[in-house]
Structure 1
């Protein structure tokens, strides 16, 4: 579909099958439908999801609570994620969502209405743990020049700093001196390529680790 008016016939058919009388371009509204004395249904048509489309649909909520947006079914790479994200936004805003398939069939993904999202206790706890582990405020509301400083990154920096100063050391020693309880596990996994095992439980810093300390020096200085 390359024109918005091509969306109108399948949307009209969908609503008429439910007993609505449907008219297009009523005032500033793309599609309006009525069924007896029930509240009017409004559908805004667009060829793709956009912020302007959501602004337009939200404005229609001043007229009726039954507002849908309708777009062609997204295709191509990332289509599933696009649909999922915009469906979540529609639910948050109390809007309905309809997609039109290439064969003119319509799929109603959600109807308008209040939405109370379920809280994820697992995600909440994970975020709280990261907050508690993060030393200081190294990101200052945004990414550093080399990326986001995570608590894991800070632990790696503290281990690397210790090894630069004291040389190859046992993981247990690094854990205590650098105040990184999981230092041995962190250096063994070697996610950043900063550490090298040179003996049983003994690690030293690599050239990549030395470069990492230089790259992240500014962020590390803020860890407190």
Structure 2
């Protein structure tokens, strides 16, 4: 079982319990939010020091940090010792098991509440990133895959609009609904998708037209938003 194989059952488990789930947010494998509650889940195919270090680092963001691993074949003394260490570290434990009846997630225990200093700036950045995404396009536990961020979504939206309506000012784009960061995204041109053709007016590059439209799902949503803005 790969780390990425753990993501779908954990996502489904959390969504069943009413959480909004996002993968690969600010180096966290999974972020789950419900009202003011923030849960972090770190995925690994086995419990090792790397997992424990990562999980305890996440405790500076949230008290509710879980580790999620495949269920061991044997619930022996060694495994009971590992669970004791996880509990001592005030972490929660989720086990994923695969059987003839499908995949199940078993919550062994919740994190113990602790009074520790939170890095407020990091926590705020995570919440803003989750809020800025229109959907869940990443898979938790995948390291070498290009990740979708709120910034990239916004750039795709702008690229889509420019591709359809032609050269435009940031003010025009903002009026159509591309957001407050429109001008900075155009000027910074992080992906090489935009070109300034005169003062305050930008067009999409050939590279931008090809690359932005390759994110099919998000691009189609952007087209729908543009049609709605043009008819309203």
**Band of TM-score, shorter chain:** 0.3 to 0.5
Q: TM-score, normalised by structure 1?
A: 0.48
The structure with the larger Rg is: 1
Q: TM-score, normalised by structure 2?
A: 0.46
